[in-house]
Every structure is written in structure tokens, then in C-alpha cells.
């Protein structure tokens, strides 16, 4: 049971994928952390999406809510059935950074364009929500730069991420 309000979150798609056992070489502790967080958010939390629904489309592309009852599928169904528990922010396109809300910090210039929408959504939201991250080790290398920009990233699986980063030589 969640004692206090869970808060507002931007959720990277890999949290859903890890919860559904769709990430290779992930620890049982990481899977559990992702499952428990998604379930806790459904009890008491809010989600930030972009008004162009790029984040939601990515969730839907990776997880079909109409098939089965996996954790991610249940979460996606919950999103659709509870529009009062998510809200959208406007993300204006930018020719170089992808999104105007994506920071122009040089340390972030090489960051994965496909993941910039999560950062831009967190920046565009007045609540300044943290981004939930599970198993994408490239986020470790930019965590300091993001924090310097006032963007919080909560790593649900820090041990797994460090292991992945070490294998990649990051």
C-alpha cells in the first residue's frame, strides 16, 4: 500500500518492457522493481504524456493492450481507462534538438534522438516530474548533465545498468 501520493512521472518505455520480461539479461530484482512501481503508479500516481502522443504510441507499438494480461498490457489499459490520471504537455519540434524543450547542453548533444521525447516531456511539465528508467545504460552517462539541467532520473535498476555499462565499456 502506498502511504503518500505517488507523484507525477514520465515513464521510459523500457520500464514496461522489463516488467514484461522483454529485456535480455535483466535481474529478477529489476523486474520486480518495475512491476511494483507500475502497480503503485496505478494505485496513486499520474503520468505525463506529450500532446502528439509519441510516448503513448511507443508504448502501444511495444505493448499491445488488447492481447494478454501482462503487467505492461494492464498498465496500458489502465492509461486508456483513466484519462484523469495522465495529462499531456505540448512538445514543439526543434530542427537540431528534436524538441524545443530538450536542453541545449553540449553534454546532451549526442543523446539518443528516440529518447529525447521523455526528457522534453519532463522539462515541459510544470510539475518537473522525474523520468523512470529501467534498463537503458546510456542514461547513466547523462544523468549528471540532466541533473544539472534540473531533470531528475530515477533508476529503478542501478545494479543492472552498471553491469550493462561495464560490458559496453561506458
Share of the chain above pLDDT 90, in %: 86
| pLDDT single digits (tens) 40-53 | 999 999 999 999 99
Distance CA 143, CA 68 (A): 35
Task: Provide the pLDDT confidence category of residue 170 given band limits of 50, 70 and 90.
Answer: low
Task: Provide the pLDDT confidence category of residue 1 given band limits of 50, 70 and 90.
Answer: very low
The pLDDT of 63-67, averaged and rounded, is 77
Q: What is the pLDDT of residue 66?
A: 76
| pLDDT single digits (tens) 106-143 | 999 999 999 999 999 999 999 999 999 999 999 999 99
As a CATH number, domain 8-168 is 3.40.50
Tell me which residue has cell 552498471: 162
Distance CA 144, CA 127 (A): 20
Q: Report the predicted TM-score, pTM, of the whole model to 2 decimal places.
A: 0.93
| pLDDT single digits (tens) 3-16 | 334 699 999 999 99
The pLDDT of 78-98, averaged and rounded, is 96
The pLDDT of 22-50, averaged and rounded, is 96
Q: What is the pLDDT of residue 24?
A: 85
The pLDDT of 47-60, averaged and rounded, is 97
Give the strand pairing for 93-94 and 98-99.
Answer: antiparallel
For helices 28-43 and 158-168, the axis angle rounded to 10 degrees is 130
Amino acid at each position: 500500500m502506498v502511504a503518500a501520493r505517488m507523484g507525477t512521472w514520465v515513464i521510459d518505455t523500457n520500464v514496461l518492457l522489463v516488467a514484461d520480461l522483454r529485456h535480455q539479461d535483466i535481474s529478477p530484482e529489476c523486474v520486480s522493481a518495475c512491476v511494483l512501481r507500475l502497480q503503485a503508479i496505478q494505485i496513486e500516481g499520474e503520468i505525463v504524456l506529450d500532446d502528439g502522443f509519441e510516448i503513448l504510441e511507443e508504448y502501444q507499438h511495444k505493448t499491445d493492450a488488447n492481447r494478454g494480461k501482462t503487467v505492461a498490457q494492464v498498465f496500458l489499459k489502465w492509461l486508456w481507462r483513466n484519462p484523469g490520471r495522465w495529462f499531456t504537455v505540448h512538445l514543439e519540434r526543434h530542427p537540431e534538438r528534436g524538441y524545443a524543450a530538450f536542453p541545449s547542453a553540449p553534454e546532451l548533444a549526442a543523446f539518443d534522438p528516440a529518447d529525447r521525447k521523455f526528457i522534453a516531456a519532463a522539462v515541459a511539465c510544470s510539475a518537473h516530474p522525474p523520468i523512470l528508467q529501467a534498463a537503458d545504460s546510456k542514461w547513466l552517462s547523462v544523468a549528471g548533465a540532466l541533473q544539472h539541467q534540473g531533470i531528475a532520473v530515477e533508476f529503478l535498476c542501478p545494479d543492472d545498468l552498471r553491469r550493462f555499462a561495464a560490458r559496453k565499456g561506458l
